[in-house]
C-alpha cells in the first residue's frame, strides 16, 4: 500500500462522522497530497506537516457534534443482546431440561444433565467475558447496538481498544451493572462510571436514526427466548 493510501486509511479509521462528511474529508486529504506532490514536495514532508493520523481525525471529530446515546436506548440494546445470547443458549438449555426430566430420582441428576449444565455454564461465562468486549473492540458495537444505531467510541470519537472494551465491561463481571448504569442520566456525556474510567462513550451513529423495528426486535428477542424456554420446561415436565 502506498504511503498516501496508508495515511488516509489511518485517518479515516479514527473518524466518527456521517458518510458524506467522511467522503469530503477523504477527498480533501487526497487533494492536499496531490497538490503538494505536484509542487515537488516529498510525501514524508507532507505527512509531517499534516500531523499524526489520530491527531487529524481528532481535530475533524471535534468539529462535529457527537450525540450521546441515552439510558433507555442503551437498555433496549442491552436487552436485545441478552435476548440473542439466550436464543443461542436455548439448544443446550433444552437438552439439559430434557435430560433432567428423565432422572431416576429427583434428588440425583442424571450424568447427561450434569454435563449439559456444566457445558452451558462454561459457555455462558465465556460469552459474558468475551462477547461484548470483542465485538465492541472490533466493530464498535454489538448486534443490539447495531439495531439501535449506537456505537462505542473513545471520547475523541476514535475506535476503542480491546483493553478499553474490557475495562468498561468490568461492572458486568462483578455484578454491579445496575449501580454503574445509574451514572448515565447524570453525566454530561451519558457515561457509565466505568465509561468515565475507560474514557469511552456510547454515541448515536451519525446520519439516519434508529428505526422503530430496531426497538421492536430488541424487545421481542428476550421476550421470545424466555417464552420459548418456559415452553420447553413445561413440555419436558413430568406429568
pLDDT in tens, 43-73: 999 999 999 999 999 999 999 889 999 999 9
* pLDDT (0 to 100) of residue 238: 60
CB hemisphere CA count around 63 (13 angstroms): 10
Q: How far is Cα 28 from Cα 107, in angstroms, rounded to an integer? A: 72
* pLDDT (0 to 100) of residue 115: 62
The answer for residues whose C-beta is within 8 angstroms of residue 151's C-beta and 6 or more apart is: 16, 140, 141, 145, 202, 203, 205
In the predicted structure, residue 108 carries a pLDDT above the cut 60: no
Q: Each residue of 109-161: pLDDT tens digit?
A: 555 556 656 666 666 666 777 899 999 999 999 999 999 999 999 999 999 99
State how far Cα 82 lies from the chain centre.
13
| Residue in the structure block whose three cell numbers are 474490557 | 166
For residue 207, what pLDDT band results from cuts at 50, 70 and 90?
A: confident
Helix (H, G, I), strand (E, B) or coil at 140: coil
* Tally: H helices and E strands in the chain: 12, 2
Helix (H, G, I), strand (E, B) or coil at 52: coil
Counting every residue written for the chain, the total comes to 239
Domain positions in the chain are 3-62, 71-236
Mean pLDDT for the chain?
87
Q: How far is Cα 137 from Cα 145, in angstroms, rounded to an integer? A: 13
For residue 172, what pLDDT band results from cuts at 50, 70 and 90?
A: confident
Backbone angles phi, psi at 204, to 5 degrees: -75, 140
Pairing mode of beta strands 150-154, 200-204: antiparallel
The answer for residues whose C-beta is within 8 angstroms of residue 167's C-beta and 6 or more apart is: 194, 197, 198
Q: Which residues of 81-119 are buried (b: 16+ CB within 10 A; e: fewer)?
A: bbbbbbeebeebbbbbbbbbeeeeeeeebbeebeebbee
Nearest-CA neighbor of 239 among 101, 100, 97, 99? 101
* pLDDT (0 to 100) of residue 104: 44
Amino acid at each position: 500500500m502506498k504511503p498516501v493510501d496508508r495515511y488516509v486509511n489511518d485517518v479515516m479509521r479514527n473518524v466518527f462522522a456521517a458518510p458524506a462528511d467522511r467522503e469530503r474529508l477523504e477527498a480533501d486529504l487526497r487533494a492536499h497530497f496531490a497538490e503538494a506532490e505536484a509542487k515537488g514536495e516529498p510525501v514524508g514532508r507532507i505527512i509531517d506537516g499534516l500531523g499524526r493520523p489520530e491527531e487529524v481525525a481528532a481535530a475533524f471529530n471535534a468539529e462535529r457534534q457527537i450525540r450521546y446515546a441515552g439510558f433507555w436506548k442503551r437498555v433496549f440494546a442491552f436487552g436485545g443482546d441478552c435476548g440473542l445470547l439466550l436464543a443461542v443458549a436455548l439448544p443446550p438449555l433444552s437438552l439439559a431440561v430434557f435430560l433432567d426430566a428423565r432422572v431416576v430420582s429427583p434428588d440425583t441428576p442424571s450424568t447427561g444433565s450434569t454435563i449439559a449444565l456444566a457445558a452451558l455454564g462454561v459457555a455462558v461465562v465465556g460469552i459474558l467475558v468475551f462477547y461484548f468486549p470483542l465485538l465492541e473492540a472490533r466493530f464498535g458495537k454489538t448486534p443490539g447496538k447495531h439495531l439501535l444505531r449506537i456505537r462505542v467510541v473513545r471520547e475523541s470519537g476514535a475506535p476503542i481498544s480491546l483493553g478499553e472494551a474490557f475495562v468498561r465491561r468490568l461492572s458486568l463481571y462483578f455484578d454491579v451493572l445496575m449501580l454503574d448504569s445509574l451514572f448515565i442520566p447524570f453525566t454530561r456525556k451519558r457515561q457509565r462510571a466505568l465509561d468515565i474510567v475507560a474514557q469511552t462513550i456510547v454515541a448515536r451513529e451519525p446520519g439516519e436514526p434508529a428505526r422503530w423495528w430496531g426497538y421492536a426486535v430488541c424487545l421481542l428477542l428476550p421476550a421470545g427466548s424466555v417464552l420459548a424456554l418456559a415452553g420447553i420446561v413445561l413440555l419436558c415436565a413430568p406429568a
